[in-house]
Amino acid sequence: MSSTEIVADRTFQACGVVEPLLVVSRTAGDPDGALVAQLRRGDAGAVEALVGAYGDRVYRLAIRITGNASDAEEVVQDALWTVVRKIDTFREAAAFGSWVYRITANAAYQKLRRRRSQRHEVSWDDLGPAFDDTGQPAEVAVDWSKRLTDPALEAELKSVLLGAIDELPSDHRTAFLLHDVEGLSNPEIAETLDLKLGTIKSRVHRARLFLRRRLADYVGVCLEGARS
């Protein structure tokens, strides 16, 4: 299964009723302690160890944010080099992985800003209100997934979903991918992106609503066509 198919499968579940898969490993203790020590000492194999531990994950995040393999490769190089250069600024109280993700996200944002005019992204207003006046979700997603019986239609929906994700504003797309694809919690994402917890919750919710509407619209057209 390709990385694109993996993204589609996990985000497809996230936009339906099924809970997103937790794909970020959680192990007891500090699995990155030895790596951090290597980097701080400047050991000969430290950079190679960093690439081995985080190269794939950093690239996965970078390409999902930028949507471009060439840009993602540059982001990976910039991000990992920044980790090496700034390792002495890393605080032990924080999670090393979150720190690496924050650096990667920032590098990806900078790359996006340089070519934002070339991308088509929906506006913030197009995502719809996240919460009503009482603080409750303004829109409840409809579970249309049980209406799907055609595997071919499900495959088409995953393709539609990937296209819709690419249209999301970069900040909403990043929050959604970190939460529903990478499996990070809202507090972890807030720490990673250095944003308020409420901001992350709002962005994830808005992104989900937009994606669900896109999928629901597509399903409606397909079902209407099948009845005609």
Per the structure, the count of domains in the chain is 2
Domain ends where: 115, 135, 161?
115
Q: Which of 65, 85, 115 is the last residue of a domain?
A: 115
The answer to whether residue 83 is domain-embedded is: yes
The pLDDT of residue 20 = 37
Query: Who's near 143: CB < 8 A, 6+ residues apart?
Result: 16, 17
Give yes or no: residues 135 and 99 share one domain: no
My answer on whether 177 and 216 are in the same domain is yes
**Same domain for 107 and 131?**
no
Q: What is the CA angle 71-169-14, rounded to 5? A: 95
108, 168: one domain:
no
What's the average pLDDT block by block, 10 residues per block, for the chain (228 residues)? 48 45 42 93 95 95 89 96 96 85 87 64 50 50 52 76 87 88 87 90 94 83 56
- Any residues with CB less than 8 A from the CB of 28 and at least 6 apart, and which? none
Buried b (16+ CB within 10 A) or exposed e, 138-150: ebebeebbeeeee
- Same-domain status, 48 and 131: no
Is there a single domain that holds both residue 64 and residue 149? no
Burial classification of residue 133, based on how many CB atoms lie within 10 Å of its CB (0-12 exposed, 13-18 middle, 19 or more buried): exposed
What's the domain range around 31?
20-115
d(CA 101, CA 107): 10
7 closest CA partner among 162, 154, 160: 162
pLDDT at position 9: 54
